[in-house]
A and B are shown apart, each in its own frame.
Chain A
Amino acid sequence: MEYIPNILFAILLIFGIGYFGKNVKKLSRNINLGKDVDRSDNKSQRWKNMGMIALGQSKMVRRPIAGFFHIIVYVGFVIINIEVLEIIIDGLFGTHRVFTKVLPDSIYGFLIGTFEILAIGVLISVIIFWIRRNIIKLKRFLSAEMKGWPKSDGNIILYFEIVLMTLFIVMNAADISFQQAGNGNVISQYLYPLFEGNVETAHIIEKVAWWLHIAGILVFLNYLYFSKHLHILLAFPNTFYANLKPKGEFVNDANVTKEVMLMMDPNADPFAAPAEGEDEGEPEKFGASDVQDLNWVQLLNSYTCTECGRCTSECPANQTGKKLSPRKIMMDTRDRLEEVGKNIDANKGTFIDDGKSLLNDYITPEELWACTSCNACVEACPVSIDPLSIIMEMRKYLVMEQSAAPTELNVMMGNIENNGAPWPYNQMDRLNWKDEN
C-alpha cells in the first residue's frame, strides 16, 4: 500500500507527458502540411539569432515595461523548473526534498531561495499583466480578433501562473521540516506562522499543494497545444528558421522563373511535348489560397504567434483604421491549419475538401489589399514571425490564379506590360526630362 502514491504519480506523469507527446506529433504533422522551404543555410547566424532573440529576449525589451516583466516571468518559469526535477524524483521514489541530501546546504538554500524570490517576481509580473489586459485595457489587447477564446486564453494563462506560483510558495511554507531547517525559505518563512501551530494540517496542506503543483504543471503543459502559450516552446525553432535575407527581398517564385525563361528563350518550341518519361505532374498553383499552399516556416510562424499584437500596433494600415491586422493573419492561419488538421484526423489521414479555405473564409481580399508591404509587422515581432510573406502569397493567388486585382492595379500592370512604366507614358519618352525645365 505504501507505494500507491508513487504509482499514482508515475501514472499521472506518463499520462501527462504522453498526451503532450501525442499533440506534439500532431503539431509537427500539421506544420509539415506546408510546402518545403530551405532554411538550412548559415547555421551560425541562425544559432546566434535564436540565442539573442528567443533565449536573450532582445526584441522583447523594445517595449521596456512589457519586456522587463516578461523577462521576469520567463526567467522565473525556466529556472523554477529545476525544482520540478526534484518534485519528479520525490514523486517517483517517495523521497522528500531529495536534493537536500545530494547538494550541500548552501547550494540547496541558494537555489530554493532564488526560486522563491522568482516565484514572487513572477506573481507580481503576472498580476501586472492581468491589470494591463483587464483594467487598463491596452488597445492592442482589445482589437476585433481578440474577442472570445483569444481573450480568455490570455487570462487563463495568467491564472494558471498565479495558481502555480502560489502553490509553490504554500508548499514550501507548510513544509515544517523545511521551515525548521531555515535554509532558503526567504519568502515562505513569512507564511510559515500560519501553519506551524498544527503539524497535521500543515502536512496535509503541504501534500495537497505538492500534488496540485505538479498536476498543475502537467495540465499547463498540455494546455500549451491549445493556446497561444505554445510560443514558450516554438519561439526557439521559429527564430532559428526565420528569414535571414534583407526584409525588402521577396522570394522569386521558381515556377514562374521556369516559365519566364522558356518564354524568353528564342529557341524554345512552344508546342513541344514534355520529354519522354518526364512527369509533368500537377500544374503548379501560384500563390496561396489555403494553408497547404504556404510553406512550413509560415505554418510554424502561425503556431508560434502569441497574439501580443505588436505587429498590428505598428501596422500603418491598422493604425489608420483599415481592416488589415497582421496578428489576425497569423491567428487565422493557425485556426485554419487546426481545422485542416482535424479534418485529416477525422478522415483517416487524408484531407477531404471541406469547401472552405484560408482566403475568403478567414482572410478577406480587403485585408490583403490594405497592406503597404512596409515590413513594420515583421520588424515588430519579438519572435521573428513574418505575416507579410503570407499576405504576399495570397495576393499572388488573387492576381495570378483569379485575376482578382483591384481595377486600378490592373491598369497599372497593363501599363507596365505595354509601356514599361506603371503610368501610361511611352517608353521612348523616358529621357525627356533631360531637356525640360
Chain B
Amino acid sequence: MKVPTMAEYMAEGKQPEVLFWVGCAGSFDDRAKKITKAFVKILNNANVEFAVLGAEESCTGDPAKRAGNEFLFQMQAVTNIEVMNAYDIKKVVTACPHCFNTLKNEYPGLGGTYEVMHHTQFLKSLLDDGRLKIEGGSFKGKKITFHDPCYLGRGNEVYEAPRELIRKLDVELVEMKNCRKKGLCCGAGGAQMFKDAEPGDKEVNIERTEQALEVQPDIIATGCPFCNTMMTDGIKNKEKEDSVIVQDIAELIANAQDL
C-alpha cells in the first residue's frame, strides 16, 4: 500500500492529482480505517497520484459546528485552510460526507476554495475515464441496499454516484422505503455520534436498521464512516451479523477485486 504525504510530494517538487482527506474517523476508528485502506488500495490500483496530509491534517470542525461551537469550528477551519493553501491544493477527495460537506461548502467562506469530491464521486469519475474497472466478483447477484448519508444526499444532493458504483458490482440494488431525499438518518449526525441520545422509544440506528432489514438484503452499503458504525451496531443489535454485512462502497469495490 502506497500512502505518500503532501510533505513528501512537496520535497520532490511535485503536486499530486488529488489530496485524500482521511478524516478523524478514517484515521483513528478501527472500523473506519478499513474503509480508508480499501479506498487507498483502489487508488493505488488505478494509479492515481494522491497524497494525504498525515499528521498535518486536523478535524474539519464539523462536529464542533453542529454542536454549536462556531468558534472552535472556525479555528479548525482556518488552521486547516492555512495548511492546504500552503500546499496549493486544488482538488480534495474524502470518504467522509461530513468532511466533504464542510470542506466543500463551509471552507470557501473562510478562504479555502477547493474542488471537493466524495470518494464515490471520485471513483465514479475514474470509472468514466476508464481508469477503474468494477466487476461483481463474489458479490454477483447479491441483494444490496444503500443507506443515503444525510450530508451527502439531502445535504449536497449526491444520490446517483454511489448507486451507479453499486450497480457496476452486478448486484441487485433494492431501495429501502426511505431513500434518496426521504432517506432516514443513521442517528450519528449533528454531533450525536459523540453523546448519548435523548430519551425516546428507540435509537435512530435501530429504526434505520429495521428499514434496511425489511428489504432482506445480503449487504447494506454505506458511504460514510459514521453511518457504517451505526448500521453495524444496528445489525449486531438485531443479531444478524452472520447473514447481513455492512460495508462501505469502497470496501465493496476493493473486495470484489481482491485488492
Contacts and interface: CB of A to CB of B under 8 A. Distances in A.
Contacts of B27: 421, 425, 429-433
A398 B185 contact: no
Interface residues of B, number: 74
Contacts of A398: 68
Nearest to A286: B70
B72 to A, nearest CB: 6
Nearest to A287: B68
Interface centre among B3, B5, B33, B204 (most CB of A within 10 A): B204
Given A372-B187, A431-B27, A256 B150 contact: no
Contacts of A420: 24, 57-59, 76
Contacts of B109: 252, 257
Contact of A421 (B33, B58, B70): B58
Contacts, number: 222
Contacts of A370: 197-198, 200
B200 A400 contact: no
Contacts of B24: 420-423
A421 B59 contact: yes
Contact of B72 (A247, A376, A416, A423): A416
Interface residues of A, number: 67
A269 interface: no
Contacts of A392: 66, 68
A425 B196 CA distance: 21
A409 interface: yes
A259 interface: yes
Given A248-B151, A421-B59, A430-B27, A321 B68 contact: no
A250 B3 CA distance: 32
Interface stretch (A13-21, A85-93, A260-268): A260-268
B98 to A, nearest CB: 9
Contacts of A256: 70-71, 74
A22 interface: no
A324 interface: yes
Give the top 9 A-B pairs by smallest Cβ distance, nearest first. A248-B155, A373-B190, A321-B201, A395-B68, A420-B58, A249-B105, A321-B200, A399-B68, A374-B185
Interface of A: 245-250, 252-253, 256-257, 259-261, 263-264, 286-287, 314, 316-317, 319-324, 366, 369-376, 378-379, 392, 395-400, 405-406, 408-409, 411-413, 416-417, 420-423, 425, 427-434, 436
